[in-house]
């Protein structure tokens, strides 16, 4: 659960954030580092193109997702989930430690205040975030309009994975690794914020990645092992 995740991350040898990947030789505590490790572990998966120029484009887009899309998408979903305590806790899998769930419920007013302060959540900032997310989605749609089944050619790359994962808060995919709350149960104001992204071509593309490509890339990464 949020807040408690920091203890698990530190215990695993990482920083205060997740994900953390622990291997026999090293601890990777950044999603980009994890993707690059996966690429070295199974180069046949093709997460990063061999062509230097194309690889730079993939890396730049991955950074755009991490630094822009992810932060603004989280602000959008936090703007209404923090006011809907039941839906907030429904967004986490039932297997979360009961003690952590109970603890966060007790600390929820403080947690809500700190997150709102950290993300500077207010009406104006949420609208700005919608614009920023929209700009990234437009860029995705421009890339998809070019030749190739994926953002950078005919192979799924780290750019596609980064886009799918960082867009989760504003597309609420049906085929995520845990069951997310039904968007129809959200307040109408929240639905009005999320549905334009979910129903856009870029939103459909992200959902397709979860629906069709997630299992396949996992299989590819296991080939070498």
pTM, 2 dp? 0.89
Under the banding of pLDDT at 50, 70 and 90, the label for residue 225 is very low
Q: Any idea where the domains of the chain sit in the sequence?
A: 50-222
CA distance 45 to 224: 10
Pairing mode, strands 27-28 and 21-22: antiparallel
Under the banding of pLDDT at 50, 70 and 90, the label for residue 172 is very high
CA distance 41 to 28: 13
Structural contact between residues 93 and 179, judged by C-beta atoms closer than 8 angstroms: yes
pLDDT at 223 over 80: no
* Average pLDDT value over all residues in the chain: 90
Under the banding of pLDDT at 50, 70 and 90, the label for residue 88 is confident
pLDDT at 28 over 90: yes
Under the banding of pLDDT at 50, 70 and 90, the label for residue 45 is confident
Out of 21-25, 76-80, 144-148, 219-223, pick the least confident: 219-223
- For domain 50-222, the question of CATH label 1.20.950 is answered with no
Structural contact between residues 73 and 166, judged by C-beta atoms closer than 8 angstroms: yes
The sign of the dihedral angle between the CA atoms of 181, 187, 193, 196 is: positive
3-state SS assignment for residue 2: coil
CA distance 66 to 64: 6
CA distance 46 to 217: 10
Task: Please tell me which residue, 1 or 180, carries the higher pLDDT value.
Answer: 1
């Amino acid at each position: 659960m949020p807040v408690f995740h920091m203890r698990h991350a530190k215990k695993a040898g990482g920083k205060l954030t997740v994900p953390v990947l622990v291997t026999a030789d090293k601890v990777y505590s950044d999603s980009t580092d994890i993707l690059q490790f996966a690429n070295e572990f199974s180069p046949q998966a093709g997460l990063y193109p061999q062509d230097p120029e194309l690889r730079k484009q993939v890396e730049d887009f991955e950074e755009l997702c991490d630094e822009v899309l992810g932060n603004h998408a989280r602000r959008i979903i936090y703007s209404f989930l923090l006011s809907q305590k039941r839906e907030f806790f429904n967004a986490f899998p039932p297997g979360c430690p009961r003690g952590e769930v109970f603890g966060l419920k007790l600390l929820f007013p403080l947690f809500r205040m700190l997150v709102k302060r950290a993300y500077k959540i207010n009406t104006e900032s949420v609208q700005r975030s919608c614009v920023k997310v929209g700009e990234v989605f437009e860029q995705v749609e421009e890339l998809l309009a070019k030749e190739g089944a994926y953002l950078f050619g005919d192979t799924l790359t780290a750019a596609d994975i980064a886009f799918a994962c960082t867009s989760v808060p504003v597309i609420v995919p049906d085929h995520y690794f845990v069951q997310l709350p039904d968007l129809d149960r959200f307040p109408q104001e929240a639905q009005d914020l999320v549905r334009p992204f979910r129903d856009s071509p870029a939103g459909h593309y992200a959902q397709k990645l979860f629906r069709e490509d997630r299992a396949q890339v996992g299989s590819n990464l296991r080939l070498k092992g």
